[in-house]
Amino acid sequence: MTEHINNSDLLGSGGHAWLWEDRERTQKVIGSAGILGVYSAVTGLHSRSGRIAGKGGGAAVLKATGADKAAADAAMSALELAIESLIDAGTEVDWEDDQGRAGSALVLVRYQRGGCRQYGRTVVGEVPSVAVWQYYQLEVRENYGGWDGANLGD
């Protein structure tokens, strides 16, 4: 299997990295007067937040091409619409990150553009085209907290 969100290669057009936070844990600690030490236990494992950003932690980049500027813009808008539709739906989707970890409860939380689109000329095959780049960051949450739903370990 290869990197994907909801079995689609939404982010494969540009440079990015999946950056994960530590999993959230709820812990209970009990201590009593006159007793040496305390008792503690993890009572709940929760979601794991993350973001998709550039390899250095800054902005990632989406890239689209088209025969002209309008076609390139339409291709980029289609990518962004697919991402924003998943955010609006709020549904849990299957995923695999850039390091081969996978799960089934990813929720896309927030897509943040990093400035205006940038344009340039490129060649696709032997055909001159227009390329468009959009810098962004995407906040995500894995609701199971683990990488595969069954393995909750780091």
The pLDDT value given to residue 56: 82
**Could you read off the pLDDT tens digit of each residue along the chain, which spans 154 residues?**
588 999 898 887 778 999 999 877 777 778 777 777 887 877 767 889 999 999 888 899 999 999 999 999 999 999 999 999 999 999 999 999 988 899 999 999 999 999 999 999 988 788 899 999 999 999 999 998 776 544 444 4
pLDDT, residue 153, reads 45
CB 135 within 8 A of CB 115: yes
- Say how far apart CA 110 and CA 112 lie, in whole Å: 6
pLDDT of residue 151: 44
Residue spans of the domains in the chain: they are 4-142
Q: What is the pLDDT of residue 148?
A: 58
Level-2 CATH architecture, domain 4-142:
Beta Barrel (2.40)
**What is the per-residue pLDDT for 152?**
43
SS (H, E, C) the chain: CCCEECCECCCCCCCCEEEECCCCEEEEEECCCCCCCCEEEEEEECCEEEEEECCCCCCEEEEEEECCHHHHHHHHHHHHHHHHHHHHHCCCEEEECCCCCEEEEEEEEEEEECCCCEEEEEEECCEEEEEEEEEEEEEEEECCCCCCCCCCCC
**What's the pTM?**
0.80
